[in-house]
């Protein structure tokens, strides 16, 4: 927490809000629409393992070598942060979230911090981090571009930032997805509710542009397609789709409950009845739908790049030209002018256990 935090605010961190049988964060209540209870924590851990499988065990795409300082924004249960701590044991990892739902036994180089990333100033050191990471934070913020802008501020010159987020609506390439498919209709209803709550979900396809606009360079984008269920013939994609369907089914109520009840005024019974149709759609193998997950990363330019100093003639060249002919202008043309870490130990097969097997 921030150094100015009072005792009453500190106690609110542990005093969760209960609503419709689920619990929600007590620190700055109401700004985040998704629960923080044990079922959701289990699902978040499971989702992290599914994404590990989808990304072939790669915890990051940015070309890191030996990062000293790492920040994970919206860490949730801290699963990714702890994996990074094991991968880079000499690094120092800070991980922030609104809810204290992280485990107590963690690697010694991980620190969990209760903080709201929407604050203008984070409870952190500016220009400190070699790498800043966000994963699946759609619907968490009013303006995700502002989070990227602040990430730029807190990244060291030469450091990297990376964001991972899925697109909300499903995609289909072979015409098997009906226009009124309940899962597609649900995703559109979710986006409508999120926009009304001023917490938009559709940010993934804007990340690359936002990274560039706030000042990052060498910005890259990778799109990973994840099947909605196990409809593909390819064995790996079939398994990935199975895992993703389990993840979505386990979180369907968590995604929907607060948004639909607070924004639309639906009762819990109405929401659960509505979601029954969506669950049936998710398991329909006749529909060959998939989710697009966007991964975007960019580098903060160093000072020479930021101020374009490399385009200025060196002092020695400038002095030489002035000595040669002080009346002649300087010739404008005469100017002086990544491998991913070893991911051994991160299993890519057979992937995470089913939700029901996770304790």
Chain mean pLDDT for the chain? 86
Query: Domain ranges in the chain?
Result: 7-306, 308-337
What pLDDT digit, counting tens, does each position of 96-141 carry?
999 998 999 999 999 999 888 888 777 677 779 999 999 999 999 9
Structure confidence at residue 311 as a pLDDT band (50, 70, 90): low
Tokens of 201: 């979900």
User: How large a percentage of the chain has pLDDT more than 70?
Assistant: 82
d(CA 193, CA 256) in angstroms, rounded, equals: 9
Tokens of 254: 């968590």
Q: Is the pLDDT of residue 344 over 90?
A: no
β-strand pairing of 289-299 with 171-172: antiparallel
d(CA 221, CA 21) in angstroms, rounded, equals: 39
Give the Cα-Cα-Cα angle 222, 223, 228 (nearest 5 degrees): 155
- C-beta of residue 207 within 8 angstroms of C-beta of residue 137: no
CATH 3.40.50.1110 matches 7-306:
no
d(CA 97, CA 101) in angstroms, rounded, equals: 9
CB atoms within 10 A of CB 38: 10
Higher pLDDT, 190 or 307: 190
Q: Is the pLDDT of residue 309 over 80?
A: no
What pLDDT digit, counting tens, does each position of 8-44 carry?
446 678 778 899 999 998 787 878 899 999 999 999 9
What pLDDT digit, counting tens, does each position of 166-182 carry?
999 999 999 999 999 99
Start-to-end Cα distance in the chain: 29
**pLDDT at position 359, please?**
37
166 sits in which H/E element: strand 155-166
Q: Is the pLDDT of residue 62 over 70?
A: yes
**pLDDT at position 2, please?**
41
- C-beta of residue 209 within 8 angstroms of C-beta of residue 148: no
């Amino acid at each position: 927490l921030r150094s100015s935090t009072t005792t009453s605010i500190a106690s609110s961190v542990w005093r969760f809000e209960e609503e419709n049988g689920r619990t929600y964060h007590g620190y700055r209540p109401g700004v985040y629409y998704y629960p923080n209870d044990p079922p959701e924590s289990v699902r978040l851990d499971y989702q992290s393992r599914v994404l590990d499988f989808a990304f072939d065990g790669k915890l990051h795409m940015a070309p890191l070598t030996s990062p000293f300082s790492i920040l994970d924004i919206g860490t949730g249960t801290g699963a990714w942060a702890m994996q990074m701590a094991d991968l880079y044991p000499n690094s120092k990892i800070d991980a922030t979230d609104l809810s204290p739902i992280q485990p107590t036994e963690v690697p010694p180089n991980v620190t969990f911090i209760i903080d709201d990333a929407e604050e203008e100033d984070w409870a952190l050191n500016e220009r400190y981090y070699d790498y800043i990471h966000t994963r699946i934070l759609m619907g968490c913020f009013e303006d995700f571009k502002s989070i990227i802008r602040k990430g730029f501020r807190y990244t060291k010159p030469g450091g990297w930032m990376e964001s991972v987020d899925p697109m909300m609506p499903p995609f289909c390439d072979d015409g098997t997805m009906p226009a009124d498919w309940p899962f597609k209709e649900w995703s559109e209803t979710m986006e409508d509710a999120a926009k009304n709550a001023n917490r938009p979900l559709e940010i993934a396809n804007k990340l690359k542009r936002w990274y560039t606009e706030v000042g990052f360079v060498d910005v890259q984008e990778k799109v990973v397609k994840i099947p909605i269920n196990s409809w593909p013939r390819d064995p790996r994609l079939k398994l990935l789709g199975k895992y993703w369907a389990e993840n979505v089914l386990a979180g369907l109520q968590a995604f929907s409950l607060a948004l639909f009840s607070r924004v639309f005024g639906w009762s819990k019974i109405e929401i659960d009845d509505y979601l029954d149709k969506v669950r049936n759609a998710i398991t329909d193998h006749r529909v060959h739908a998939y989710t697009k997950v966007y991964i975007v990363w960019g580098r903060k330019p160093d000072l020479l790049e930021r101020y374009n100093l490399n385009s200025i003639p060196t002092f020695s060249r400038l002095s030489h030209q002035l000595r040669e002919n002080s009346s002649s202008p300087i010739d404008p043309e005469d100017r002086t002018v990544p491998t991913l870490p070893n991911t051994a130990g991160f299993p890519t097969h057979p992937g995470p256990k089913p939700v029901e097997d996770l304790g």
